[in-house]
Amino acid sequence: MPQSISGIDGSSVKVDFQGFTLYGIDAIAILYNDVKGLKYSNSKVYAIADLDVLIPPRAKERIDMYREIIEAKTALITISENDIELLLMDGSLKSILITPSIEPIVVAMNKVSATFGDQIYLKLYNMLSESLRDYNKLRERPLVSKLLAMDEGGILTEEDYLAIAFLEYIEKLESYRRLLLKCFEKGTLVAFISKTGRSQAYFADISRKLCRYIPADIMVFQNLTSSSGYSKPKVDDKPLKGMPNILSLREFYDKLRIAITYIRLDDGGPVLKLEIPYMGNVSILTIEEDILRLLSYLKNISPQGYPYILLEAHELSRISKDTFNSIIYSLDLIPQRTGREVIEGWMM
């Protein structure tokens, strides 16, 4: 078992009202360390949350982005304050980093320049650095792009909000860059684990040759295998395309490599998608060594074939509907909820 391990997960919830969306997000990092007698004798929990009102458009995509941002920051503050041998993140890194469907990058960049000026990116970078210096500061300012836009924007139009969404995407890319660099610097093995996936990369050639649809890779491995083990890892030469050339983000992500494999920890258990990030070209031998090390770590801490620390982080981060409804009631928002209260015609 690893001498220290951390698991990160988050959740989000939202309710749409007339002209705005009320949302709640959180992220939890659980840390176990100080092994004594094959047990962890010390544990710690880091938590970041945000509750606010969001003006349309594209509220759902932006709320998902907020959750991903604070998951990265929670992981970053945890690894910055502790020596962690293994860091487990819930979800897919490739999916997290894909450009959101809010605006094409060139269009979004032009809107940011027109609304805030090009200097806004440096301000974002500096504010992010300031917020990450201290855990309590981070909890106070979990989303600096949103605060920065409020400070800079004055009265905002719908077009301005689309520019803000791009700023939020830049904050996400920068947050994950800092997290990955910190892991590489400290020698922490970081792995992204997901229970679902749509990728069809493994069997794409067979699908083309047969001219037949083949289900997602994870479904194929789940149904055609039953023993514990892992699939041969795949690494794209350039897994992330279309990165914005801002704050040297494109330069970093052009060098990033993501090794993908599918694993099963117990015979008959669930198949999981595993992603391990690397900087620069990496050999399959190195990747397989890391996979085997990871499997040996997870074997004894994964009841029913899924890492317990991620299950615990999931349960702690879950925002219940009852809790959120209590918040709505306390804010006296129920009468405004649907916008269908007026059923008679208006005389104008």
144 CB-contact burial (10 Å; exposed 0-12 / middle 13-18 / buried 19+): buried
pLDDT at 155: 56
Which residue positions in the chain have pLDDT lower than 70? Answer: 101-103, 151-159, 239, 334-348
148 and 171 in contact (C-beta within 8 Å)?
no
Alpha helices in 230-347, H assignment, sequence order? 249-255, 284-299, 308-317, 321-330
Q: Which residue matches tokens 């694993």?
A: 263
- Burial letters for 98-125: b for 16+ Cβ neighbours within 10 Å, e otherwise? ebbebbebeebbebbeebbeeebbebbb
Q: Which helix (H) or strand (E) covers residue 104, if one does?
A: none
pLDDT at 347: 53
pTM for this entry? 0.91
Please tell me the distance from the alpha carbon of residue 77 to that of residue 129, in angstroms, as a whole number. Answer: 12
165 and 180 in contact (C-beta within 8 Å)?
no
Crossing angle of helices 59-81 and 158-186, in 10° steps, is 30
pLDDT at 181: 97
